[in-house]
Structure 1
Amino acid sequence: MNILKTQHQDILNSVGQHLSISLISLLIAAVIAIPLAIYLRRYKKVAEVVLQITSIFQTIPSLALLGILIPFVGIGTVPAVIALVVYAVMPIFQNTYTGFTSIDPSLEEAAYAFGLSKYRRLTRIELPLAMPLIVSGLRIAMVMIIGTATLAALIGAGGLGTYILLGIETNNNALLIIGAVLSAALALIFSALIRFIGKLSFKKIMYVFATLLVLFGGWGIYSSVSKPLSTITIAGKMGSEPEILINMYKDLIQQENPKQKVELKANFGTTNFLYKALKAGQIDVYPEFTGTVMETLVKAQNYGKNPTKIYQQGKTMLKQQDNLDYLSPMKYQNGYALVVSKDFAKKYNLKKISDLRAVQDQVKAGFDIDFFNQKDGYPGIKKQYNIDFADTNTMQPSIRYKAIASGKVNLVDGYTTDPQVQKYHLVVLQDDKHFFPPYQGAPLVRNKALKEHPDMKKALDKLSGKISTKDMQKMNYQVTFQHKKAKTVAHDYLVEHKLLDK
């Protein structure tokens, strides 16, 4: 209930985004599939080829399709709509084609004998008889679109998928339920609405269809041209922390230049999607971590553990590789950590990872599957610290903290700024042998954007060396568990630390 009270306007906006994307996709798919099926009803072999092609499109994983589209059409609504149209064409085409080809040939012969023109045979005989199957295809497509549209959140198109993905990411069942229930409700409502429209006369159906086409087509054109050319677009990955940071970026940029237009795309999705969007010029800046830069973006080898050297090396390689600027990093690091319960830490006086060696036979660990297997996870910890825990279990990341809070385990892997550390009163052990690579956050910016907006670097550099690990952990807690808005938490921090005027 607290989420509904504090975020009701955001939820309504997400419903509107989800609905707009879904209806636009359905209309475009119908405009493509229905006329094509009508035309090919006389050409059986060609129709079968088209049906096979549209079926193949349905087998393409949605994430892969979105990734392919980003370099060509950017991020946001456009690639989301294209992907949804690709998936929706098949059921509409198949049902429309089946509806026309299953009409009794004697009825068409009778219409021809009465001297009806092709247009009148189509509108008076064929379309009314095929309409139940066409409507059924539209209903199937709409339900499919609304369900698949949840992935639009991964590329900055918004919608109810934001709440579903955030719920999974943060193990927040309330967010997950909000997104899932509202998506299901939309699917049921519009399935019933399409069924009702299908009972109208052909002329009324065409009026409804034309009205929707004009309304949403006009809205799409307006949206594409209404964004000012000088807008700075800032994106962030999934979760509370990136959303807090991008709101800080916005406040600082607009303090330097109050007239500057800034657009935020929170809860964007994966590193790969963001990086493609940045290189393509669809976004101008997003917060990235040094460890991710070295491991994923530039794929550096043997880069050591010195935070300053890693940052400088990453900055140089990003500039050489893609002409991107990596601005000065913040103080905190959001890297891997070993976390123990407060009681366990107090009982054995545990402060650093090396302390675990003396109590390794008492440890009941719960690890993410990746952490348990990868060389910079538990296998590396065992070798570096010469420890081997008596009892280790693998589990989904979303339930690790619940397991340690309930006493089923007394040690888990996590990240240094996880808000669950504060919520469950856990202790992050010091990595005293510096095993984990540094993960400092810093703005990753397009070079062209810095040239077009010279005030941006000065604004973002105000965060250089700022924000401690405890500060970020506290802010994550406020957003994730106290359900405060990220923009409010970001603004309060900047004001409190005299980085922003009230």
Structure 2
Amino acid sequence: MIQALWQHLGISVISLLIAMAIAIPLAIWVEKHDRLANIMLQITSVLQTIPSLALLGLLIPFVGIGSVPAVIALVVYALLPIFQNTYIGIQEIDPSIEEAADAFGMSRMRKLVKVELPIAMPVIISGIRTALVMIIGTATLAALIGAGGLGTFILLGIDRNNTSLVLIGAIASAALALILSYLIHVLQRVKIRYSLITLAVILLGFIGYGSYKVIDQPADEVVIAGKLGSEPDILINMYKELIEDDSNVKVTLKPDFGKTSFLFSALRNNQIDIYPEFTGTVLESLVKVNSSETKNLSQQQTYQLAKRKLASQYHLKYLKPMKYNNTYALAVTKKFAEENGLKDISDLSGIQDKIKAGMTLEFIDRSDGLRGVKKLYGLTFTPQSMSPDLRYGALHDGKVNLVDAYSTDSQLRQYNLVTLKDNKNLFPAYQGAPLMSEKLAKKHPEIVTSLNKLSNKISEKQMREMNYQVNVLKRSPKTVAHEYLIQHHLLK
């Protein structure tokens, strides 16, 4: 909680100060130029209409992931209320007061500091407080791109269907907004120069702490990240124990780091060193392949092709895969399967008028997902798009009767669901394996040796059981990972 709170506070305060440094001087400069002021208001208004996730996605190719794109996005959203309120606050000053200041022979800067800003300050502060609340609320999305913050609790709670975690993140975020809003209100009563000094000290404090963390980082540290969910969390804890058991390398974990594209970008930009990736995902989403190359591949052929493409296109090292195949599946309740005689995906063609499907956006849009299912099996139903965590609850509650699934999902056991056989072999192999740079593999061959201990280990049943332990029984991923390694004699 302390770490997440500090990350959230740092991102929010730095974003607010940068937005103030841009918007307030800009509003003062255009105050005497109405046409230019209107243009700037239109631009800042348009910027604020860009969806936050879309803006983060647009920034990633240019600045990578982590705090930098999060801060840029938050600054963009904070510009409008601060710029607009500063401009309006100065514009609405009584002309007679302006004339009196001119009559006393005040310079432009002296009039600004002694007359205009003090009079306009309540309106400016109102804009700053509005921007602050907006920033703190939006900053929860920073967790999606590896910047941490209180959004980590919310995303983890949604993924594990844990309302307590969602409430912790939401309430802490709201409390932080109220506290900072009150502090700004207090600063309003202080003289401007003292307020500026206070803000400068805060900014330098965050910059100094960030610089210290970079300098203080161990020279031989390896950062391992994982996607959202219990399974990646379990795997990266296994990686950490195996590496530290065999070497003196210090391992730092970054769980619930985000989606596939974010992790892959972070790996390529040296922001992380290792993360677990699936063979099917590599061929479908990460490397360039011809459709003829991916037809009718065995699990071993899928891995070898993924390994070659990653090495030739990105100079990445793909280690040996684990045993289980966490491929896509279509799942229904046992009752619905029995009532309609469902065993294979082909059986769905006879009951399309009964299908109410809830599926993730990723599955709906993939050629090895719903698009491929419809084409190969001749199905025409239209699903509702749902977040991964909600679709199982909707199936259990009878709101939908068909969902996409992964073969190791704990909910398959939790809700006693039936997966339909892919009798036409659409879904490719999805075996998990550590992905790292070739440079790291050459520098630390002992890490490669350690992680290859998981080669051909962990069956689908074992992985599903471990996911069940974390998601349903609420056990720690670290504990579950350690128990598996001990039971299978993988630690010294």
- Provide Cα deviations, 1:141-169, integer angstroms capped at 9, x if missing partner: 11111121111111111112223233444
SS in 2 for 1:193: helix
SS in 2 for 1:238: coil
Match of 1:232 among 222, 226, 231: 222
TM-score (norm 1): 0.86
Matched, 1:322 2:314: yes
Contact 1:293 1:299 in 2 (8 A): no
Paired with 1:80 and 1:147, the residues of 2 have a C-alpha distance of 12
Match of 1:78 among 52, 68, 89: 68
- Provide Cα deviations, 1:446-487, integer angstroms capped at 9, x if missing partner: 112222322221121111111111221122122222222222
Paired with 1:208 and 1:148, the residues of 2 have a C-alpha distance of 25
Contact 2:349 2:377 in 1 (8 A): no
Contact 1:372 1:394 in 2 (8 A): no
SS in 1 for 2:129: helix
Paired with 2:154 and 2:328, the residues of 1 have a C-alpha distance of 25
Matched, 1:288 2:277: yes
Paired with 1:375 and 1:213, the residues of 2 have a C-alpha distance of 47
The residue number in structure 1 matching 2:333 is 341
Return 466-475 or 451-460, whichever deviates more. Answer: 451-460
Q: 1:380 to 1:278 in 2, by over 3 A?
A: closer
Q: 1:122 to 1:498 in 2, by over 3 A?
A: same
Q: 1:363 to 1:464 in 2, by over 3 A?
A: farther
- Provide Cα deviations, 1:318-357, integer angstroms capped at 9, x if missing partner: 111111111111111211123343456688998x537958
- Provide Cα deviations, 1:285-312, integer angstroms capped at 9, x if missing partner: 2111111111111243141241111111
TM alignment of 1:436-447, pairs within 5 A: 436-447=427-438
SS in 1 for 2:130: helix
In structure 2, what residue type is equivalent to 1:452?
K
Paired with 2:41 and 2:348, the residues of 1 have a C-alpha distance of 63
Q: 1:101 to 1:313 in 2, by over 3 A?
A: same
SS in 2 for 1:262: strand
The residue number in structure 1 matching 2:254 is 265
Paired with 1:41 and 1:424, the residues of 2 have a C-alpha distance of 62
The residue number in structure 1 matching 2:151 is 161
Q: 1:448 to 1:337 in 2, by over 3 A?
A: same
Match of 2:246 among 256, 269, 287: 256
Paired with 1:330 and 1:322, the residues of 2 have a C-alpha distance of 22
TM alignment of 1:52-63, pairs within 5 A: 52-63=42-53
SS in 1 for 2:436: strand
Matched, 1:417 2:372: no
**Corresponding pairs, count:** 487
What is the root-mean-square deviation of aligned Cα atoms in Å? 3.2
In structure 1, what residue type is equivalent to 2:270?
G
Contact 1:305 1:434 in 2 (8 A): no
Q: 1:183 to 1:368 in 2, by over 3 A?
A: same
Paired with 1:321 and 1:193, the residues of 2 have a C-alpha distance of 51
The residue number in structure 2 matching 1:123 is 113
Return 447-456 or 193-202, whichever deviates more. Answer: 193-202
Percentage identity across aligned positions?
Answer: 54
Shift of 1:196: 3.2
SS in 1 for 2:148: coil
SS in 2 for 1:329: coil
Paired with 1:22 and 1:378, the residues of 2 have a C-alpha distance of 39
Contact 1:74 1:277 in 2 (8 A): yes
Matched, 1:18 2:8: yes
Paired with 2:158 and 2:102, the residues of 1 have a C-alpha distance of 59
Paired with 2:133 and 2:443, the residues of 1 have a C-alpha distance of 43
- Provide Cα deviations, 1:109-157, integer angstroms capped at 9, x if missing partner: 2223234444442332122101111101111111111121111111111
Shift of 1:429: 4.6
The residue number in structure 1 matching 2:445 is 454
Return 363-372 or 264-273, whichever deviates more. Answer: 363-372
In structure 1, what residue type is equivalent to 2:320?
S
The residue number in structure 2 matching 1:478 is 469
Match of 2:235 among 223, 232, 245: 245
In structure 2, what residue type is equivalent to 1:326?
Y
In structure 2, what residue type is equivalent to 1:100?
I
Return 459-468 or 94-103, whichever deviates more. Answer: 94-103
The residue number in structure 2 matching 1:7 is none
Matched, 1:307 2:296: no
Contact 1:327 1:443 in 2 (8 A): yes
In structure 2, what residue type is equivalent to 1:449?
L
Contact 1:381 1:435 in 2 (8 A): yes
Matched, 1:491 2:466: no
SS in 1 for 2:235: helix
SS in 2 for 1:282: coil
SS in 2 for 1:482: coil
In structure 1, what residue type is equivalent to 2:284?
E
Return 36-45 or 225-234, whichever deviates more. Answer: 36-45
Contact 2:341 2:347 in 1 (8 A): no
TM alignment of 1:388-403, pairs within 5 A: 394=384, 396=386, 397-403=388-394
| Residue ranges of structure 1 left out of the alignment (5+ in a row) | 1-10
Shift of 1:437: 1.3
Paired with 1:204 and 1:233, the residues of 2 have a C-alpha distance of 41
Contact 1:71 1:280 in 2 (8 A): no
The residue number in structure 2 matching 1:219 is 209
Paired with 2:367 and 2:389, the residues of 1 have a C-alpha distance of 22
Q: 1:359 to 1:293 in 2, by over 3 A?
A: same
In structure 1, what residue type is equivalent to 2:231?
E
Paired with 2:370 and 2:42, the residues of 1 have a C-alpha distance of 47
Q: 1:487 to 1:110 in 2, by over 3 A?
A: same
Match of 2:102 among 105, 112, 115: 112
Matched, 1:464 2:485: no
Shift of 1:250: 1.6
Contact 2:358 2:400 in 1 (8 A): no
